């Protein structure tokens, strides 16, 4: 009988130990995801409105702070300055001009999350990078596209060509989590593409605005 009681006590202690270990394992929260990837798109705002498509990857370095890398293509962010310069040639040709700045940009920066509620995660961000700006101007006379060179007009770098410039990005928005690791993103990005006067003496900076609609996953 004593031997049986001894064995029963050992088994009871073992079972209790396993139960406590299981309880601890269940209580311990899973590790918080450190990285995220996001696909985003939306309209661009400004003198010429168009659309953009892009993506973003980020890594949490300290509490509430991510380092991110983004890349996007903006359809047309042409300015009034580009229109004015193109219209000088268009008036000489006796026609009209259609203008576009098409931009491929990539930037690296920091995103700071503001703690408010578990269901809504506001953030602000800032970064800098490079923007490849393609200048496209189409001249038309009586509804037909014409090449200015055939009329004795040579276009300068301010009206044609592709140039890589520096871009500075600022933004804000909110992330709304769903389905455990996924989230929706609604935000705004302002980017200033700096002038590059060593390439084009009369070059001007280009402001860009994006309304961000995105979906992402943390992992």
Q: Which CATH number does the domain housing residue 194 bear?
A: 2.40.160.20
User: Do 166 and 114 share a structural domain?
Assistant: yes
pTM of the model: 0.84
Note the pLDDT of residue 58. 98
CA–CA distance, 13 with 15 (Å, rounded to integer): 5
User: Do 14 and 71 share a structural domain?
Assistant: no
**Nearest partner of 172 among 219, 121, 103, 99, judged by Cα:** 121
For the chain, the maximum distance between any two Cα atoms, rounded to a whole number of angstroms, is: 115
User: Do 68 and 22 share a structural domain?
Assistant: no
Give the tokens for residue 150: 């055939």
* CA terminus-to-terminus distance, the chain: 56
Note the pLDDT of residue 32. 78
User: Do 66 and 9 share a structural domain?
Assistant: no
User: Do 157 and 112 share a structural domain?
Assistant: yes
User: Do 110 and 195 share a structural domain?
Assistant: yes
User: Do 65 and 3 share a structural domain?
Assistant: no
- Which residue is listed with tokens 């928005």? 173
User: Do 22 and 83 share a structural domain?
Assistant: no
CA–CA distance, 146 with 84 (Å, rounded to integer): 19
User: Do 105 and 23 share a structural domain?
Assistant: no
User: Do 62 and 123 share a structural domain?
Assistant: yes
User: Do 93 and 105 share a structural domain?
Assistant: yes
CA–CA distance, 71 with 75 (Å, rounded to integer): 13
User: Do 73 and 7 share a structural domain?
Assistant: no
Q: How many domains does the chain have?
A: 2
CA-based angle 124:193:188, to the nearest 5? 30
Along the chain (219 residues), what's the average pLDDT of each consecutive run of 10 residues?
38 38 50 92 97 98 97 98 97 97 98 92 98 98 96 94 98 96 98 95 96 97
Q: Which domain holds residue 4?
A: 1-30
């Amino acid at each position: 009988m004593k031997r049986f009681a001894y064995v029963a006590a050992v088994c009871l202690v073992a079972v209790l130990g396993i139960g406590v270990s299981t309880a601890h394992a269940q209580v311990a929260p899973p590790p918080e995801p450190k990285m995220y990837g996001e696909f985003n798109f939306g309209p661009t705002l400004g003198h010429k409105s168009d659309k953009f498509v892009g993506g973003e990857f980020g890594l949490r370095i300290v509490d509430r702070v991510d380092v991110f890398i983004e890349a996007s293509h903006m359809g047309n962010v042409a300015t009034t300055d580009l229109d004015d310069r193109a219209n000088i040639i268009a008036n000489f040709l006796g026609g009209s001009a259609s203008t576009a700045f098409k931009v491929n940009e990539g930037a690296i920066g920091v995103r700071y999350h503001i703690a408010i509620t578990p269901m809504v995660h506001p953030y602000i961000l800032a970064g800098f990078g490079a923007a490849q700006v393609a200048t496209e101007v189409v001249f038309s006379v009586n509804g037909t596209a014409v090449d200015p060179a055939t009329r004795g007009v040579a276009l300068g770098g301010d009206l044609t060509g592709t140039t890589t410039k520096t871009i500075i990005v600022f933004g804000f928005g909110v992330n709304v989590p769903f389905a455990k690791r996924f989230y929706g993103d609604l935000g705004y990005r302002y980017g200033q593409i700096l002038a590059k006067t060593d390439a084009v003496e009369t070059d001007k900076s280009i402001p860009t605005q994006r309304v961000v609609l995105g979906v992402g996953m943390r992992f």
